[in-house]
Amino acid sequence: MVNNGVSRGCETCKRRRKKCDEARPVCERCKQAGLHCSGYKDDADLIFRPYEGSYQYQAGSVATSEEQYNSSDSTKNPSEASDAISPDSQYDEEQIDKHALQTFFVDYCVSSADRSLSRGYLDGLQTLLFHAGPQSEVSQAAKIVALANLGKKSNSPSLLERTRLLYSRLLHSFQRTISNPSTSSTIESFMTAVLLGLYEMISATESDHGKHGAHIRGVSAILSTGESRLDLVNGVKVFQVADPQLIGVPTKQPEALQGILGAPALSPFVQSLDSIFVKMRPLISRIEALVTCTLTHCDDIQFLKAAALDINADLSRWQDSQLREWKPTSIGFWSCCDDVSDDSIFWPGPVDGYFDPYVAAVWNTCYKARLIALEFIVRCSLLLHDGDTHKEEHAEAQKLTGKMLSSIPYLLLRDPKSVISGPREFQEPGRPFGGLLLMHPLYVATKVSVVPAPVQAHMSKCLAWIGRHMNIGQATLLSMASNPVPAQFVVDGHTLLWAGMLTQPA
């Protein structure tokens, strides 16, 4: 393979993930697109630059100290991280592996700024890797996800192929680990399963959808183990387990009553979103019967409609019961303009902000669940021929999709406020974590009849944008209307992502 070194394209083409013709002083691609060309980096900057401060590494070790692992800088620009090294350049595998892990921490690990309000995502993973050691399976799994993330960002076939080989090897050893009761019920095994599932979602393609379902079953099995040691790592209490109700695992832990999908500081008298989902699970299994109209007994249909009405009411009450700090806040309003490109993720209307991406993701999960409940209500009525026009349900669905649309700039862009001044050129993507937790609610909205067709088309375009600019293969897959995926595939994917919030630093 010929090594062309680090990309020397203009900064605008790099942000847009476009091939630059490198014309000077401005490139022809930017000129033809009517965009401002941001110019070129000096050649002296196109070399490997290890991170300063937040991530310091020594050869052969995961980190020089636990404190360095815990000092993840979530404000660092992900695009700067990916530009720091070229995977196909002269740098050795050790340097590339270190850089990949650094980039992964920036892209996917979200520390909670206030544990009474947010759980973050993969929060404390750096601490876990430090205690487990660089040769542990959980550290190897983190490296695999990190390399896949970097390989997709840099479009490096050689790095992606190496990642596949590492993944295959780890699967064999991990299967032996989880088959042994003495090693399967550890936090390392739990997080290894979560990270391997995340790898499947990032690396999914049209020809290979990924096997993340196997990993969520592994997560369930680990949590169901009778003698779980999930709160211990090398004798140090680093993690505590939150509520595993979401993946259907019974628990005797008293703190599990609050659930993980909601503010941890909520009163125990407020129903958790988790418990509503537990009630909702039997309905989901009947959706295929509704779609194919094979559910024909009137009593069964009436029962299903009543259950859907009850769940929609529970979800509405959940929304009303949230803390003020937890509710969306208005950033501004965007009006349509003529110079929006076909690649746009913008929809005219309000732009909302949230306490953090975790909170935004929980709200979208609630909106998604309510859309499913409304879909059940409408379809049951159609089968019962009760003459209801369902104006109220369609109006509710319109409000829910509007709230989902208003969260898109916050979750997908580095600067959501830039939308308000008018998206006249490509907007810089934010951290891929936002796209990861937004993609399943978007996909569900594209598949329910209570959402208008133009909105569904726009949401499919947003899924394609996530796949293209945030390098998440499953998002690209979900954007393809001609390539439908089973409902359980989507449920497993969304569940696996929430499993990443089941643990938190003690």
Residue 390 pLDDT: 80
* 118/335 Cα distance (integer angstroms): 32
**CB of 367 closer than 8 Å to CB of 405:** no
pLDDT in tens, 428-479: 888 999 999 899 999 999 999 999 999 999 999 999 999 999 999 999 999 9
Residue range 243-257: mean pLDDT, rounded: 39
**Strand pairing partners for 353?**
329
Does residue 60 form part of some domain?
Answer: no
Kindly indicate the confidence band of residue 424, based on its pLDDT and cuts at 50, 70 and 90: low
Rounded distance between C-alpha atoms, residue 215 and residue 497, angstroms: 11
276 and 416 co-located in one domain? yes
276 and 232 within one domain? no
Helix (H, G, I), strand (E, B) or coil at 132: helix
Q: Is residue 123 part of a domain?
A: yes
Residues 193, 309 within the same domain: no
- pLDDT over 90 percentage in the chain: 24
| pLDDT value at 294 more than 80 | no
Least confident of 307-316, 384-393, 454-463: 384-393
* Per-residue confidence (pLDDT) for residue 397, from 0 to 100: 94
CA angle 503, 209, 281 (to 5 degrees): 55
Q: How many helices (H) and strands (E) does the chain have?
A: 20, 4
pLDDT, residue 425, reads: 55
3-class SS string, 327-387:
CCEEEEEECCCCCCCCCCCCCCEEEEECCCHHHHHHHHHHHHHHHHHHHHHHHHHHHHCCC
Instruction: Give me the phi and psi of 222, to 5 degrees please.
Output: -65, -45
Phi first, then psi, for residue 275 (nearest 5°) are: -65, -30
Query: How many structural domains does the chain have?
Result: 3
> Does residue 78 lie in a domain region?
no
CB atoms within 10 A of CB 455: 18
Q: Are residues 384 and 462 in the same domain?
A: yes
Give dist(CA 459, CA 412) in Å, integer.
13
Side-chain half-sphere exposure of 230, counting CA atoms within 13 A: 25
Which CATH number fits the domain that encloses residue 21? 4.10.240
Task: Report the mean per-residue pLDDT for the chain.
Answer: 75
The per-residue pLDDT for 213 is 65
When pLDDT is cut at 50, 70 and 90, the band that residue 166 belongs to is: very high
- Same domain assignment for residues 187 and 98: yes
Token pair for residue 461?
Answer: 């375009």
Residue 20 domain-assigned (yes or no): yes
Domain span at residue 146 reads 92-239
pTM attached to this predicted model: 0.76
Place of tokens 């019962």: 384
Between strands 329-334 and 503-505, the pairing is unpaired
Does residue 202 contact residue 162 with C-beta atoms inside 8 Å?
no
Q: What is the pLDDT of residues 185-225, one digit of tens each?
A: 677 888 888 899 899 889 988 877 777 766 766 666 666 55
157 and 263 assigned to the same domain: no
282 with 369, same domain: the answer is: yes
Q: Do residues 326 and 370 both lie within one domain?
A: yes
Residue 363 has pLDDT above 90, yes or no: yes
DSSP assignment of 49-64, as one string?
----SS----TTSS-S
Lowest mean pLDDT among 241-255, 389-403, 414-428: 241-255
Flag whether 185 is in a domain: yes
Instruction: Indicate if 262 and 232 belong to the same structural domain.
Output: no
- pLDDT tens digit sequence for 143-164: 999 999 988 888 888 889 999 9
Least confident of 58-67, 169-178, 371-380, 451-460: 58-67
Q: Is residue 492 in a domain?
A: no
Q: Which residue has the tokens 């050795």?
A: 92
360 and 410 in a single domain? The answer is yes
Considering the domain architecture, whether residues 378 and 270 belong to the same structural domain is answered as yes
- Same domain? 268 vs 235: no
Which is higher by pLDDT, 58 or 295? 295
Residue 409 belongs to a domain: yes
Would 369 be classed as within a structural domain? yes
